A and B are shown apart, each in its own frame.
Chain A
Amino acid sequence: MAIDHATVRRIARLARLSVSDADIPPVADELGRVLGLADQLAGADVTGVEPMAHPHEQVLAWREDAVTEGDRADAFLALAPDARGGLYVVPKVIE
């Protein structure tokens, strides 16, 4: 199936990926081919078939709403590209 360039730009924006202008045509072509594979699904008769999200239809496990780990904030913040005063630091969001 054909994917137009505007669709590539829209999907890339949703996925927070940058696709350069030069790469748009080849990416559109590749996406079209992969989604063309998915178009085979249109041939299956799925009338009355419930979607299957998961291999085992088990009820998700519940647990007590209790602390299971100690305070490891420092260990996790240490992984951040930028963290100060116990907080993750990001570029200014509000002008």
Chain B
Amino acid sequence: MSPGIVQLAQELRARKISAVELAHAALARARTRSDLNAFITIDESAMLTAAQRADARLATGAWSTLTGIPFAHKDIFCTRGVRTTCASRMLENFVPPYDAGVVERLNDAQAVSLGKTNMDEFAMGSSNENSFFGPAKNPWDAARVPGGSSGGSAAAVAGGIVPFATGTDTGGSIRQPAAFCGITGLKPTYGRVSRWGMIAFASSLDCGGVLARSALDCMHVLSAIAGHDPRDATSVPRAVDNYNAALSTTLQGIKIGVARDYFGAGVDAGVGAAVEAALREYEKLGATLVDISLPDSAQAIAAYYVIAPAEASSNLARYDGVRYGHACSEPQSLEDLYTRSRSEGFGAEVQRRILVGTYALSAGYYDAYYLRAQRVRRLIANDFATAFKSVHLIAGPTAPSVAFKLGEKTADPLAMYAADVNTVAVNLAGLPAISVPAGFSAGLPVGLQLIAPAFAEGALLSAAHHFQLATDWHAREPRA
């Protein structure tokens, strides 16, 4: 298995390897696997400078667990002086004058960024095929998608380029690509990680998090990036738990609710079987399984595909060709500048969602669509609250299928949206969830999703970690 954060950190501190050597190895691996199209921007000189600084810190003993560890940022996090595109022509040449909160945190931890990973444009998509820079590929089968929207981050980790990458999850964009690529992906509680400098898609759902090779590694990254940021008004002013200490909690006496609604007709038999087998393993480890129902989750896709586009249409109104981003040439009027800049700058799916959101918010339709979706959102959140009165965690398949083929769903937006069927409810309720490798179906990775009550990341990570101590699905790697 490619070394994870913990092993690399030990080798760095024992001076068996230097941060500069690790940086060169990551750059070489990124070149070898350029076929994955996992990166939009690689900043070699910035990486080597950061690695030298990390080596200096390691020499003084003033290190953190992440000091000198190579990683990558999803290209949705603003990086001062490094172009940040959100995989859009609109921001093709945008070089932010500031760092996102998550970027600052990982800089402070002296982790060493290789660059910016590919994604669906403005995080809108479930396959990474909506990128202006072309799709990223799945390291298990290059004819298949890595999932989305954090597809480049998942491909970079699964492809052995970096041990972890940042991601964002608005409707499943960390968990579904983690499942498709056979890695671990953590979406924290809404508000636990700063959204400052994270380019907005749907502000009441957007959540920063991490993709890595194990729950243990996710724990170390979450410990670095979690916390209050006064620059994000929705960041929660609450002390960060000691996630490392939480890992010592075993599965003895843990009650896991099995969300039968997530094993519905749309779930592939092979996926269902792998997840059932993983649940048996949880039983062996001391957990109790209880079937539960989340009846209103059946409405989650419908509610999500009103709320997310509505918020997106509002957020993306800022791209006007005036202040930053793409501007059309020779505008004839202010309206022409707005309209042509936006039509040239945004791709097809982003335009589709802006139109859907504009419709849902327009006079005469607001109550029937947006307000109604918000009422259903509360029903969905209430289902979870009721379930968590009797169970500690909820489990089910992360995605209804394994990674599908490139081009398989691009012609039909609704087929693509259905890939999010088991993940969007978590975002609507604002809960933390993790996708853990749980086996294979037809040679492709399957993800088990675990969901916890708000701010119970410690319990979530612990349940994933103890499963990974007993199984080796997370240690499996694609050939090449």
Q: In terms of DSSP, what is the predominant structure of the interface of chain B?
A: helix
Interface of A is mostly: loop
Contacts of B1 in A (CB 8 A): none
| B residues near A27, Cβ cutoff 8 Å | 352, 355
Residues 44-65 of A at the B interface (beta carbon under 8 Å): 44, 46, 49-56, 58, 60-61, 63
How many angstroms between the C-alpha atoms of A49 and B381 in the bound complex?
A: 12
Contact A52 B374 (CB under 8 A): yes
The answer to whether B322 and A34 touch across the interface, beta carbons within 8 angstroms, is no
A5 to B338, CA, bound (A): 22
Known contacts A12-B355, A35-B356, A37-B417; is A18 also within 8 Å of B343 by CB?
A: yes
Partner of A15, one of B332, B354, B371: B354
Q: Is the CB of B302 within 8 A of A41?
A: yes
Cβ–Cβ contact A18 & B324, under 8 A? no
Contact string against B for A residues 21-36, beta-carbon threshold 8 Å, 1 for contact and 0 otherwise: 0000001001101110
Instruction: Give B366-401 interface residues, CB cut-off 8 Å to A.
Output: 368-369, 371-379, 381
Q: Does chain B have a CB within 8 A of A79?
A: yes
Interface size on B, residues (CB 8 A): 68
Bound Cα distance A3, B321 (Å): 29
Report the bound CA distance from A63 to B231 in whole Å: 10
**Pair B378/A49 contact, Cβ less than 8 Å:** yes
CB of B230 within 8 A of CB of A61, answer yes
Which A residues lie within 8 Å of B296 (CB)? 44
Would A93 and B334 count as touching, CB distance under 8 A? yes
A4 to chain B, nearest CB (A): 12
Complex-state Cα separation, A42 to B367, whole angstroms: 11
Picked from A34, A63, A80, the residue with its CB within 8 Å of the CB of B414 is A34
Task: Indicate if B331 sits at the interface (CB-CB under 8 A).
Answer: yes
Q: How far is the CA of A55 from the CA of B190 in the complex (A)?
A: 7
Q: Which of B131-139, B233-241, B242-250, B456-464 contacts A (4 or more CB under 8 A)?
A: B233-241
Q: How far is the CB of A40 from chain B (nearest CB, A)?
A: 4
Query: B69 to nearest A CB, angstroms?
Result: 30
Cβ-defined partner of B301 (8 Å) among A37, A43, A78: A37
Selected contact of A31 from candidates B94, B320, B356, CB within 8 Å: B356
Assess the A52–B236 pair: CB atoms within 8 A: no
- Interfacial chain B residues near A2, Cβ < 8 Å: none
Closest A residue by C-beta to B353:
A34
Given contacts A15-B358, A34-B352, A35-B359, contact A46 B376 (CB under 8 A): yes
Chain B CB within 10 Å, residue with most, of A31, A44, A49, A63: A44
State the CA gap A40–B296 with chains docked (Å). 12
With CB as the reference atom, state the residue of chain A lying closest to B359: A11
Is A37 within 8 A of B302, CB to CB? yes
A28 CA to B157 CA, complexed, in Å: 40
Whether the Cβ atoms of B429 and A51 lie closer than 8 Å is: no
A-B contact pairs, 15 of them (CB 8 A): A11-B358, A17-B343, A37-B305, A38-B360, A39-B302, A41-B302, A43-B299, A44-B379, A46-B379, A53-B204, A55-B191, A55-B428, A55-B430, A56-B191, A60-B233
